Amino acid sequence: MVEAAAHRVQPQPLSLWLQPRTTCEVDPAMRLCSNFHMPADLCQFGNILEIWGDPDAVQASLADLTYEERLCCAHGWPLRSTGFCYTHQRQCAYNAGCHVRVQGPPCPDYSAAGLRRGASGPTFPTMLAAGAKSRLTRSALVVLENVCGLPEEVVADAFGPDYTLSSFAQSPSDVGFDCVARPRKFFAITDVAATETLYDLRTLLEEVQSKLKREPPLSLRTLLCASPDEVREDVYHLSWCRSHLKRVPLPDRANLQPVALLNGQEATRLTDYVMAWRDGAGHKCQWEDLVCHLGDAPATGWCTWSSASGKLPTIRRSSGIYWHVSANRQILLKELYGSMGFCTFAGCAAAAGVAPFRVFHPGLSHRQLAQALGNSQHVANIGVFTVCALACAGLKDDRSNRE
Ligand SMILES: [Zn+2]
């Protein structure tokens, strides 16, 4: 998801009512995915570049320009006040009177996967558009998440002088998810004219994080909390995405064993991982916490496993099967969502006081649902960060009743 904007903030810190009003997502399957979890009347916009007109034309215009020239365009081009809304099937206003905006512009240009092309990469214009939309809608507080390599100056340039920002590196382990690797940089970006600082954000974050510290840390094996029925459910859904299983008759799919999910190449990779474990030393996790990503091949020197950090490797947009070796099964989608802070299990949801988060939905494949998770921000990270940022930023005048 590129961004989601929320409507209204009570003026008192930590006394909040957040109602999602708009989202912006370019991928139709990902839009469908968010449909299942968002209010029915929420406006769903598509490509964020539409703020300047036709997205292909925008990309083409920016393609061969220097960084400075791209900035000049982003700040100089007139902005459209409406975009095509997939919910209402018409042009809807971008400005829904939201005070708070949460954004996650595509980050590959600042990651190793995107060859660190940075401001010359193909997704960089979406960062500029994220800044342009916040200027257009005068969002008082923007919370932006990205990979750790994204420089603060780039975000400052995209948002312009009306905004001030601070950034913080945060990992799931900072908010109680010790066994998950997903380091990210979070930015609190505030409208200089509309907001005032009530408290130092870094101090508050450190205070909150110290309260969330687990002792002893949560081990990876605790993610495996599914029942045998839930294992069967996941194997069934995943089997439809496996080409070597495409001839398996429908009644038999419900009874497949997890190992049947692995094709020949993955079975070989699993053996290679186990051999590498046996022959190696200095593993950062115990055997019972060993998880191997079967989308990578140890034989070519590419080991993505929990042995490296003691944590579940970062879930990617296009990831393969995460195999728990001693349980001899995949980590279920429901467990992967749980690792990212979604309350997928009843006990978790009851503790959080929310309805359980449903993972499987009609019309979406296991692969698409896994991709949505790879795109996702860690719920606990973004939740803690946003609450702290909201508590530290006050509105100079109360604009909460302006709609
Ligand atoms: Zn709409």
Task: Give domain limits for the chain.
Answer: 3-216+377-395, 220-375
Cα(126) to centroid(ligand 1), Å: 21
Cα(90) to centroid(ligand 1), Å: 7
Using CB atoms within 10 Å of the CB of residue 273, give its burial: 0 to 12 exposed, 13 to 18 middle, 19+ buried.
Answer: buried
Cα(43) to centroid(ligand 1), Å: 4
Cα(97) to centroid(ligand 1), Å: 13
Cα(56) to centroid(ligand 1), Å: 22
The residue assigned the tokens 């503790």 is: 351
Whose CA is closest to 329, among 219, 247, 264, 234?
A: 234
Cα(48) to centroid(ligand 1), Å: 14
Cα(384) to centroid(ligand 1), Å: 29
Cα(188) to centroid(ligand 1), Å: 27
Q: What is the pLDDT of residue 111?
A: 64
Cα(42) to centroid(ligand 1), Å: 6
User: Which residues hold their Cβ within 5 A of ligand 1, which is an ion?
Assistant: 43, 85, 87-88, 92
Residue 70 CA to residue 91 CA, distance in Å, equals: 27
Q: What's the number of CA atoms in the CB half-sphere (13 Å) around residue 213?
A: 7
Mind listing the pLDDT tens digit of every residue in the chain (403 residues)? 456 655 444 544 434 567 899 999 999 999 999 889 999 999 999 999 999 999 999 999 999 999 999 999 999 999 999 999 999 999 999 999 888 999 999 876 666 655 556 777 778 899 999 999 999 999 999 999 999 999 999 999 999 999 999 999 999 999 999 999 999 999 999 999 999 999 999 999 999 999 998 989 999 999 999 999 999 999 999 999 999 999 999 889 989 999 999 999 999 999 999 999 999 999 999 999 999 999 999 999 899 999 999 999 988 888 899 999 999 999 999 999 999 999 999 999 999 899 999 999 999 999 999 999 998 999 999 999 999 999 999 888 654 444 3
Name the pTM for this structure.
Answer: 0.90
Cα(397) to centroid(ligand 1), Å: 28
The CA-atom distances, in angstroms, between 268 and each of 37, 274, 323, 351 are 38, 10, 13, 41
| Segment holding 377, helix H or strand E | none
Residue 115 CA to residue 112 CA, distance in Å, equals: 5
State pLDDT tens for residues 74-86. 999 999 999 999 9
Q: Which CATH number fits domain 3-216+377-395: 3.40.720, 3.40.630, 3.40.50, 1.10.3470?
A: 3.40.50
Cα(60) to centroid(ligand 1), Å: 28
* 8-state DSSP, 143: E
The DSSP-derived string for 18-74 is --EEEEE-S-HHHHHHHHTTS-TT-EEE--GGGGGS-HHHHHHHHTT--HHHHHHHH
The CA-atom distances, in angstroms, between 121 and each of 110, 115, 124, 213, 350 are 9, 9, 6, 37, 43
Cα(269) to centroid(ligand 1), Å: 47
The CA-atom distances, in angstroms, between 6 and each of 43, 184, 261 are 11, 22, 40
∠ Cα 8 10 15 (to 5°): 120
* 8-state DSSP, 305: B
How far out from the chain centre does Cα 304 lie?
20
Residue 98 CA to residue 22 CA, distance in Å, equals: 9
Whose CA is closest to 147, among 390, 378, 309, 387?
A: 378
Cα(99) to centroid(ligand 1), Å: 18
The CA-atom distances, in angstroms, between 122 and each of 3, 53, 135, 359 are 18, 17, 22, 31
Cα(178) to centroid(ligand 1), Å: 39
